[in-house]
Structure formats: structure tokens, C-alpha cells
Amino acid sequence: MTDQPHDWNQLVELHDRLQRGEQVTLDSDEVLGLVRRVAQDVALPIEITEQQPRDPTRIASLIRETRQRIRQGSRRLGSALLEVYRLQEAGDLKGARKVLEDLLAVEVVPLYRQTAQGELDDLLAYTADSG
């Protein structure tokens, strides 16, 4: 996983430009590097990023797939955290833990998994300290 989340923003911008039908040179070294880095960040298999590396259609498809993982993972994480906080405020720590465990069971993006695991670890530590 990269320490450069700004790469994600660049990929999202590139995706949006493609969606608007703007001309984008997809087979440049800069774009290929960006797409490969972010695809790896969202846990797309490395083999996928290496297939037909200079094919603009394949690159555009990889950009869409990567963007979809970012969007879906972000929504899953955001929804889960809102539910966790609501349950915590209601005193349902077991329910909050279950929400995080369920999220970890399906989430594939390492950054989102790391965030969810951190929340779960904090919740478990709080539960251990309180009980």
C-alpha cells in the first residue's frame, strides 16, 4: 500500500475526465504508473495491471474498475462507521463489533480494512477496559 493517497485523487480525476469524454493519453508512462500504483493500492491482482499494458481500452477498463473499488469501499466503510458510532452511543458494543467484523469479512481495499481493523481494535480495547 502506498503512502501517497493523492494518487487516488489523481486516478479519480482521470476517471472523471474519461467519463466526460475528454481526450486523455492513456498509454503514457505517467498514466500507466498511476494506474498500476492505485490498482495495487485497492488490491487488484498485479496480473491484471500487467495484461496488455499499453492497450488504451484495457487501461480505461482498469481505471473504471479501480475507481469502482475506491467508491464502493468508501461507501461501505462510511456506512459501517456511522452504524458503529450509532450503536456505540446506544450502548450496543456487541452490535458495533459485529458491524466491523462484517465489514472486514467483505472489504478488499487495504486502507479501508486497516481503518476498520483500527476501529475494531479500539472497540475491543474499550470493551476490555470497561468490562
Helix or strand holding residue 51 (H, E): none
- CA distances (Å), origin 66, targets 59, 89, 100: 10, 35, 23
- Sequence spans of domains, the chain: 6-70, 72-130
Residue 48, pLDDT score: 74
Residue 50, pLDDT score: 76
CA 123/CA 96 separation, integer angstroms = 8
- No. of H helices and E strands in the chain? 6, 0
If you compute the radius of gyration of the chain from its CA atoms, what whole number of angstroms results? 18
Residue 54, pLDDT score: 79
Nearest to 39 by CA among 18, 64, 56: 64
Low-confidence ranges of the chain (pLDDT < 50): 1-2, 4
Residue 52, pLDDT score: 62
Residue 1, pLDDT score: 44
CA 13/CA 113 separation, integer angstroms = 24
pTM (predicted TM-score): 0.85
Identity (one letter) of the amino acid at 14? L
Query: Which residues neighbour 89 within 8 Å (Cβ) at sequence distance 6 or greater?
Result: none
